[in-house]
Chains A and B, each alone.
Chain A
């Protein structure tokens, strides 16, 4: 078992640096959100903020790319996402078509660059 899970220290780090930082926000949402009604105006604002924070996460991955994505030139990353979004709109909001098109542009671009 110890080989499967690795050292107890690594597991402690997983709980402290991985599990808790996420769970704290979720449970805070449960605590503060319990009294909010479905039709309330506050919820429109909260959803707009959730959407905008998510938009920030999307922008961050594209502008400050992690790992192997950093090896892809800026114009190709932006171009691939723009192409994916364009196909998504043209296919009456098909996520599948959009994701596949964006990935094809990225792979074709990388292959073309060598």
Chain B
């Protein structure tokens, strides 16, 4: 229980909380302008819990696309969650951890939690890490639920310039928090190559451009790491 409270209070220790707050103000406002109900958008914050996916979902549905089209767009954007979950869960496991103990943690994993786990978990004793992450996740979701509600209520009074500024927050914060998170040469290369490759791959219009550019750039980055390790050995 102490670890849960510790995790929850860690919400106040990161500037990413502010970024999330502003992003969810924007999501609340976007939902209002696209004629969704408050309950619907709060449900999306709680259940979807991924900023870009929610923006895609609301804007595609709001522009009159079918649910199937929206589902495809969201599914593609959510692929990144798979390697994030695979890479962060080993930080929390103990030999006695069962898979079901990790279900809620897994739901909370999105960019912010992924980045913050790498920063915060090394300071937490291993057997407390799941409780800590539950606290951190609950804290972040609560902040975002408040922001969603505020944004929804304020929507009519927000200037258009504010909307553009909020949409720029996501790439800016993703870029900087991932850059801070880089620990090995492979991470830095993956970030740089991933940004450089996407515009090229997107010219192919495959529908899974992000997957192609991501796996390619990530694998090249890993190759460089492997080659360097081997040269050193």
Contact = CB atoms under 8 A, between A and B. Distances in A.
A92 to B, nearest CB: 10
B168 A102 contact: yes
A25 B36 contact: no
A51 B178 contact: yes
Interface in A21-53: 21-34, 36-38, 40-41, 43-53
B197 to A, nearest CB: 7
Interface in B53-106: 53-57, 59, 61, 67-68, 70-71, 74-75, 77-87, 89-91, 93, 99, 102-103, 106
Interface residues of A, number: 80
A59 B192 CA distance: 10
Given A21-B71, A102-B172, A59 B84 contact: no
B85 A29 contact: yes
B53 A18 contact: yes
Contacts of B187: 47-48, 51
Contacts of A11: 40, 43
Contacts of B85: 25-26, 28-30, 33
Interface string B142-183: 000000000000000000110111011111111111111110
Nearest to B99: A34
B70 A13 contact: yes
A57 B52 contact: yes
Contact of A55 (B30, B176, B178, B226): B178
Contact of A95 (B47, B173, B182, B197): B173
B133 interface: no
B191 interface: yes
Contacts of B78: 21-22, 24-25
Q: Is the interface of B mostly helix, strand, loop or mixed?
A: helix
B202 A67 contact: no
Given A25-B79, A26-B107, A95-B180, A4 B39 contact: yes
A46 B85 CA distance: 10
B194 interface: yes
Contacts of A57: 52, 77, 80, 171, 174, 210
A-B complex: 8 closest residue pairs judged by Cβ atoms: A55-B194, A29-B85, A49-B218, A53-B214, A52-B194, A6-B37, A33-B86, A50-B83
Interface of B: 15-16, 18-19, 30, 36-40, 43-44, 47-50, 52-57, 59, 61, 67-68, 70-71, 74-75, 77-87, 89-91, 93, 99, 102-103, 106-107, 109, 111, 114, 160-161, 163-165, 167-182, 184, 186-187, 189-195, 197-199, 202, 209-211, 213-219, 221-222, 225-226
Given A13-B61, A55-B194, A57-B174, 6 more contacts: A22-B50, A36-B89, A37-B90, A54-B174, A58-B178, A58-B195
